[in-house]
Amino acid sequence: MSTTTLSHDEAHHHDAPKGWRRWLFSTNHKDIGTLYLLFALTMLFLGGASAMLIRMELFMPGIQLVDPDLYNNLVTNHALIMIFGAVMPAAAGLANWMIPMMIGAPDMALPRMNNLSFWILPAAATMLILSFVVPFFPGGGTQINTGWTLYPPLSVQVGMSMDFLIFAIHLLGISSVLASINIIVTLLNMRAPGMALMKMPMFCWTWLVTAFLLILVVPVLAGGVTMLLFDRHFGTSFFDAAGGGDPVLFQHLFWFFGHPEVYILLLPSIGVLSHVIPAFSRKPLFGYNSMVGSMLAVATIGMVVWAHHQYTIGMSMGAVTYFMIGTIIISIPVGLMIFNFIATMWRGSMTFETPMLFAIAIVLMFTFGGLSGVMLAVVPADMQYHDSMFVVAHFHYVLMPGAVFGLFAGVFYWLPKWTGHMYDERLGKIFFWTNVIGFNITFFPQHFLGLAGMPRRIIDYNVMFTEFNVISSVGAIIFGLSHLLLLYIVIKTIRGGKKAESRSWEGAKGLEWELDSPPAFHTWTVAPQVK
């Protein structure tokens, strides 16, 4: 018999903890979600600053502001910060805030692990920043001029900043894996009674698939960068042809992670869209089952087509054909998702608040990015476009609308729920238009630059590319500055504004809208019954 002697304490408080301990030791999913979102916002500005420098340098031909190695380091850091520091943590922030509220769970399944997976991130970000800063110090070695792909042999040759970067990637990987395990366990085991998998909100489905993808690909990247570390310091020759190794092996390892990473970035935003479009069309989502099926198909096929990033390495004809056909096939389930979104809007009572504007922009521009993706999937065409600015334009058209606009839509859609205040709709729309116009001015001309032969990752360019580069850089200034407005809107909404109702949007459906705005510190202390 196990019994205990009690001291009586009948105080009744349910307040949120106060001070820095609240954030450092938090196991509350809402607090950790907020931390993720704030971290992502900070990194968005850091990554954005490096993008601004890149575009300022490319404003005119010649070398103006930075030297070529620093330019390439900016390119490397911009990509890594935006992918690992901004988009993934922002999506994790939305997941932390929304998943428990959407499935009627009181918190994430493993709250302490949740705390750990967040607090690894600032350490990783510090390592990432150090990798950029170290070469400025005496004995710090050369800049990381490899681009985010870190291909050897160049990555074996650069200075100690690469070691900081490898460590940062390991930490980011650990954080992602811990978050994924938490999300999988939460979604599989903690759904409210009556909520079968096929009744789960679409955002939760997208995160379930994303978490499985992360689980499958992160160890491969971890293995790849560790092998790189071994080649750099322990005399191995995994990627050194002179020692019997193969530099192309690293490309396979990297892109086995890198291509599914695109879907890891995209799927949470597709989940957001699956809530925003029905809410503002005042219709249920068209084809729930086919959305789930498409997502699973995208994830599965996306896992086995990585080498379309490597057409130019000299693969066999059979392998190239396989990767080409596989890549083109992905457009079928992606097309089905887009069709479902359009069919949801069809004959709906649509209104055009900021989240919906972003959703429509995604449908239009992500489709455009997808089409240029099909162009790149075709081997003979890709041989021409490879490593040109066309590729830069393509992946920004995929990732900005597909991932970042989706996150913006989610932030504007759920901001009233999180803060208890409605954001300023007029400012929201101004932000939308400046952001979208700025984005298109920046990246649309880059298609032409690429088709005309301007290579990517080169600091200088031929004078014949000047006009489009000037347009692109002016667009980048508008685009970059528009994010200050986002910051202002978010701060303004947190500080006050019109009181948000529980169901902040007329057409919003789901358990999260049954809760107060803002929700209590602990929610769903009694599990809801889902019919």
Partner 1 sequence: MVLTGADNDPVHKVLVIEPNRQLSWKTTKRVFLALALCLGGVAWYFTSLGAWLVIPFTGLELLLIGLGLYLHCCHSHQQQVIQIDAESVSICDGRLGAQQASFPRAWAKIIQTRDPKGWYPSRLFIGSHGQFVEIGKFLIEGERDTLADNLRCAIQGA
Handedness of CA 410, 416, 419, 422 (dihedral sign): positive
Rule CB under 8 A: choose which of 226, 290, 331, 367 binds partner 1. Answer: 226
Task: Give the torsion through C-alpha atoms of 253, 125, 260, 201, to 10 deg.
Answer: 150
Rule CB under 8 A: choose which of 33, 245, 450, 475 binds partner 1. Answer: 245
End-to-end CA distance of the chain: 41
Rule CB under 8 A: choose which of 84, 167, 238, 423 binds partner 1. Answer: 238
Q: Which of residues 141-200 bind partner 1 (CB under 8 A)?
A: 177-178, 181-182, 184-185, 188-193, 195
Nearer to partner 1, 130 or 527 (CB): 527
284-313 burial by CB neighbour count: b if 16+ within 10 A, else e? Answer: ebbbbeebbebbebbbebbbebbbbbbbee
374 binding partner 1? (CB under 8 A) = no
CB 132 within 8 A of CB 73: yes
212 binding partner 1? (CB under 8 A) = yes
**How many residues line the site for partner 1 (CB under 8 A)?**
58
9 binding partner 1? (CB under 8 A) = yes
- Span interacting with partner 1, options 72-80, 103-111, 143-151, 338-346, rule CB under 8 A: 103-111
Contact string 10-29 vs partner 1 (x = CB under 8 A): xxxxxxxx------------
How many CA atoms lie within 13 Å of 282's alpha carbon, on the beta-carbon side? Answer: 9
Cα 48 off chain centre by: 14
Encoding tokens for residue 43? 């990194």
Encoding tokens for residue 98? 């929304």
Rule CB under 8 A: choose which of 56, 216, 363, 515 binds partner 1. Answer: 216
Nearer to partner 1, 74 or 190 (CB): 190
Which H or E element spans position 276? helix 247-281
CB 349 within 8 A of CB 281: yes
- Span interacting with partner 1, options 151-159, 470-478, 507-515, 519-527, rule CB under 8 A: 519-527
Using CB atoms within 10 Å of the CB of residue 471, give its burial: 0 to 12 exposed, 13 to 18 middle, 19+ buried: middle
Nearer to partner 1, 261 or 382 (CB): 261
379 binding partner 1? (CB under 8 A) = no
36 binding partner 1? (CB under 8 A) = no
User: Cα–Cα distance between 259 and 34 in angstroms, integer?
Assistant: 28
Encoded amino acid at 407, one letter: L
Rule CB under 8 A: choose which of 110, 272, 422, 476 binds partner 1. Answer: 110
Rule CB under 8 A: choose which of 219, 243, 293, 496 binds partner 1. Answer: 219
Kindly list the residues in this chain that would bind partner 1 in the complex (CB under 8 A): 1-6, 8-17, 106, 109-110, 113, 177-178, 181-182, 184-185, 188-193, 195, 212, 215-216, 218-220, 222-224, 226-227, 230, 238, 245-246, 249, 252-253, 256, 521-522, 524-527
